[in-house]
């Protein structure tokens, strides 16, 4: 089980940049293309707020959306999925399992083997080059 990292909004405001706070705590979406992580290097993408490993480079694919896209999480325990009906349609929200920060959404139009597309805001990811899945 993942050990939770729970902080108040005031504490998060001090730790995060304005853009990171808006996405993680207020569920905003970054402008597509601003942080798409075009890197092809091997490594692990962590949560910028709590350092939880979220996605691994080998599961990243080019979705053409302008947001970093992955076909599966680092591990099933890395993330939480929650129904989101905020914009008049039902989507599945992806949250960090450790700090419960908003990361993005998951859709069913991804590539094999999972056919999932985790559409994630790059601003809330921290890339650790050379790290491998534990």
Among 25, 46, 98, 102, which residue interacts with Zn ion (rule: CB under 5 A)?
98
* Whether 119 is catalytic: yes
Among 16, 49, 94, 125, which residue interacts with Zn ion (rule: CB under 5 A)?
49
Beta strands in the chain (DSSP E): 43-47, 53-56, 60-61, 69-70, 79-84, 91-96, 102-107, 117-120, 125-129
Stretch 50-69 residues interacting with Zn ion (CB under 5 A): 50, 52
Spatial separation of the C-alpha atoms in residues 122 and 83, rounded to whole Å: 21
Q: Give min distance, CB of 119 to Zn ion, in A.
A: 17
Piece in contact with Zn ion (CB under 5 A), picked from 68-76, 83-91, 95-103, 111-119: 95-103
Residue 101's contacts (CB-CB under 8 Å, 6 or more residues apart) are: 23, 24, 25, 47, 49, 50, 95, 124
Q: Give min distance, CB of 83 to Zn ion, in A.
A: 20
48 binds Zn ion (CB under 5 A): no
State whether residue 81 is helix, strand or coil: strand
Query: By the criterion CB under 5 A, which residues form the site for Zn ion?
Result: 47, 49-50, 52, 96, 98-99, 101
């Amino acid at each position: 089980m993942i050990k939770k990292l729970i902080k108040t909004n005031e504490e998060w405001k001090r730790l995060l940049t304005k853009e990171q706070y808006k996405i993680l705590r207020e569920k905003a979406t970054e402008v597509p293309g601003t942080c798409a992580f075009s890197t092809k290097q091997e490594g692990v993408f962590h949560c910028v707020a709590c350092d939880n490993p979220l996605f691994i480079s080998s599961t990243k694919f080019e979705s053409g959306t302008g947001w970093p896209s992955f076909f599966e999480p680092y591990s099933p325990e890395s993330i939480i999925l929650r129904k989101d009906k905020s914009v008049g349609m039902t989507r599945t929200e992806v949250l960090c399992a450790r700090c419960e920060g908003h990361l993005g959404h998951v859709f069913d139009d991804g590539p094999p083997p999972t056919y999932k597309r985790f559409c994630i805001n790059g601003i809330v990811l921290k890339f650790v080059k050379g790290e491998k899945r534990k």
